[in-house]
């Protein structure tokens, strides 16, 4: 863990993982998208609208996952001053925000024909919207200071404070009576047929690998930006 | 404990000497609530229905206004550094400042709300629940707000940043606060909702002073 606090060593590892992650991402998309959009059976109630789920569920999952990574990275930055963990947290924020926005948008597109309304103010939708604003707050706070380090620390604390929202989102559909479907994975087993589950898993995998690829790209960009900044400061003095 | 009380009395004395700040918050609360009957129209049925929501949202914004100078006044004159290096736990300092903040904003708002509720034609049965809900909810707002105020200390464009950071965290309090008033106003048992509000308060009281103290220490480094 601490061995990778050295950005150079981390980048070496990242460079080794990245092509594999990119390949798996493309592979999952290549099989997953045709399966999800063409070959999987339409739902007996929802018809072809169910295919929105293959984008909606993975993006919801990634919205939560990216926040989890962000909170964990922020915690290790605050506790151990782990510089790379902070870079990963900072890199996760815009990706997570986009996934959350995608989840909300696809949910609205699906809700319009299915629920008869694109939006209801229930626990799951509201907490997802709060998650989106938490991402925005994190990014805005990180950029608002003259010293980047102070911004990083303030944003890291905010990420930890906001992480109380994660379990609320996860369990919202179990705790409250909601218009939203209950989770398809529960203690009692999986409530979806294999013909739909396989493309869903492929899409989740594709999104996950996409996230890995983009996070590593963004971390590399941050390291390079820091180097450029240091070099410029050196030349100026 | 003694230093806690000393710190509270210091902040209270400061706010008495700058009375305008406290009065401004209460004034903002009153005038914003009064705008709604003009905006929505004075029909009794409508105002009665949305009254609890108006009061809560406005109380939320009013407490946000006063958070701006919760720590920044002390930071600018250097008192904050002295308080943090004093032989008192930083969490005690923070807890005292939050308590004083609540006494000068949350409490006046709670006392003002029933009067404004009457102008919104809210039923008299919802007065007692309203006071209870605000008593449980507004300290939570001060606690969460203190974290945001400490985090944004020294940031650029602080006025815009503070709401963006804090308001998402206020939403649960708003939902259950309005729910508690509305449910008991309609004559149902709202004990569960009040319990949730109390739970938020306890959780915030346990976590927020600590998070605020960490944020202040980082900001003053």
Q: Which of B171, B207, B211 sits opposite A126 (nearest CB)?
A: B171
- C-beta atoms of B154 and A145 within 8 A: yes
- State chain A's mean pLDDT as an integer: 85
Task: Give Cα A14 to chain centroid, integer Å.
Answer: 19
CA distance A40 to B132: 54
Residue A176 scores a pLDDT above 70: no
CB contacts of B178 in chain A (<8 Å) are none
Query: Per mean pLDDT, which range of A10-24, A33-47, A64-78, B53-67 is the poorest?
Result: A33-47
Contact A144 B215 (CB under 8 A): no
Chain B touched by A105 (CB under 8 Å): no
Query: Residue B151 — left, alpha, or beta (φ > 0 → left; ψ -120 to 50 → alpha)?
Result: alpha
CA distance A136 to B18: 35
The confidence score (pLDDT) of residue A75 equals 92
* Pairwise CA distance, residues A36 & A155, whole Å: 38
Low-confidence ranges of chain B (pLDDT < 50): none
Contact residues on chain A for B219, CB-CB shorter than 8 A: 150, 154
Is residue A101 over pLDDT 90?
yes
Confidence of residue A190 (pLDDT cuts 50, 70, 90): low
Q: Report yes or no: B105 and B72 within 8 Å, Cβ to Cβ.
A: no
Q: How confident is the model at residue A186 (pLDDT cuts 50, 70, 90)?
A: low
| Chain A residues within 8 A of B156 when measuring between CB atoms | 144-146
Look at residue A167 in the predicted model and tell me its pLDDT: 79
Cβ burial, residue B150 (10 Å; 0-12/13-18/19+): buried
| Distance between CA atoms of residues B43 and B47, nearest Å | 7
Q: How far is A147 from chain B, CA to nearest CA, in Å?
A: 10
Size of interface A-B (CB pairs under 8 A): 60
Ranking A2-11, A55-64, B149-158 by mean pLDDT, the lowest is A2-11
- What pLDDT, in 10s, does the model give residues B123-164? 888 888 899 999 999 999 999 999 999 998 888 888 888 998
Select from A85, A212, A94, A63 the least CA-distant residue to A152: A85
Residue A82 near chain B (CB below 8 Å): no
pLDDT at B124: 80
So what's the pLDDT on residue B199?
A: 92
Contacts of A175 in chain B (CB under 8 A): none
CA of A204: how far to CAs of A70, B79, B219, in Å? 19, 52, 40
**Residues in contact with B133: Cβ distance below 8 Å, sequence separation at least 6, in sequence order:** B177, B180, B181, B194, B197
Provide the token pair at B54: 């108006």
| Cβ contact A144–B218 (<8 Å) | no
Is the model's pLDDT at A31 over the cut of 80?
yes
Residues A161, B147: C-beta atoms closer than 8 Å: yes
Question: What is the DSSP code (8-state) at residue A87?
Answer: H
- CB of B158 within 8 Å of a chain A CB? The answer is yes
Q: So what's the pLDDT on residue A134?
A: 92
Tell me if ipTM is over 0.95.
no
């Amino acid at each position: 863990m601490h061995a990778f606090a050295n950005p150079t060593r981390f980048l070496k590892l990242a460079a080794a993982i990245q092509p594999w992650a990119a390949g798996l991402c493309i592979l999952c998309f290549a099989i997953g998208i045709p399966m999800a959009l063409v070959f999987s059976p339409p739902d007996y109630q929802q018809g072809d609208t169910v295919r929105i789920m293959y984008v909606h569920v993975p993006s919801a999952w990634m919205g939560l996952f990216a926040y989890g990574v962000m909170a964990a990275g922020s915690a290790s930055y605050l506790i151990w001053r782990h510089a790379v963990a902070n870079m990963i947290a900072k890199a996760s924020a815009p990706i997570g925000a986009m996934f959350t926005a995608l989840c909300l948008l696809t949910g609205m597109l699906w809700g319009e024909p299915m629920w008869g309304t694109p939006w209801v103010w229930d626990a799951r939708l509201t907490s997802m919207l709060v998650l989106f604003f938490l991402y925005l707050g994190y990014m805005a706070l990180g950029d608002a200071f003259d010293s980047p380090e102070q911004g990083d620390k303030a944003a890291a604390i905010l990420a930890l404070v906001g992480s109380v929202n994660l379990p609320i989102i996860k369990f919202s559909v179990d705790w409250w009576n909601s218009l939203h479907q209950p989770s398809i994975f529960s203690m009692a087993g999986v409530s979806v047929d294999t013909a739909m589950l396989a493309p869903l898993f492929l899409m989740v995998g594709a999104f996950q690998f996409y996230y890995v690829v983009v996070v590593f790209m963004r971390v590399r960009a941050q390291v390079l930006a820091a180097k450029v900044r240091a070099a410029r400061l050196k030349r100026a003095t | 404990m003694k230093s806690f009380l000393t710190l509270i009395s210091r902040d209270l004395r400061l706010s008495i000497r700058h009375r305008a700040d406290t009065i401004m918050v209460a004034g903002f609360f009153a005038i914003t609530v009064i705008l709604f009957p003009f905006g929505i129209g004075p029909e009794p049925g409508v105002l009665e229905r949305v009254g609890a929501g108006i009061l809560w949202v406005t109380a939320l914004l009013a407490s946000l206004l006063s958070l701006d100078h919760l720590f920044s006044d002390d930071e600018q004159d250097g008192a904050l550094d002295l308080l943090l290096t004093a032989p008192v736990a930083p969490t005690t300092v923070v807890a005292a400042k939050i308590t004083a903040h609540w006494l000068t904003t949350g409490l006046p708002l709670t006392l003002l709300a029933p009067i404004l509720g009457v102008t919104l034609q809210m039923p008299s049965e919802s007065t007692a629940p309203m006071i209870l809900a605000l008593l449980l909810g507004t300290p939570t707002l001060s606690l969460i707000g203190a974290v945001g105020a400490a985090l944004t200390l020294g940031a650029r464009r602080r006025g815009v940043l503070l709401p963006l950071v804090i308001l998402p965290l206020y939403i649960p309090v708003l939902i259950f606060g309005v729910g508690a008033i509305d449910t008991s106003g309609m004559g149902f048992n709202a004990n569960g909702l009040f319990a949730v509000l109390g739970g938020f308060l306890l959780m915030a009281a346990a976590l927020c002073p600590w998070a605020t103290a960490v944020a202040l220490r980082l900001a003053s480094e």
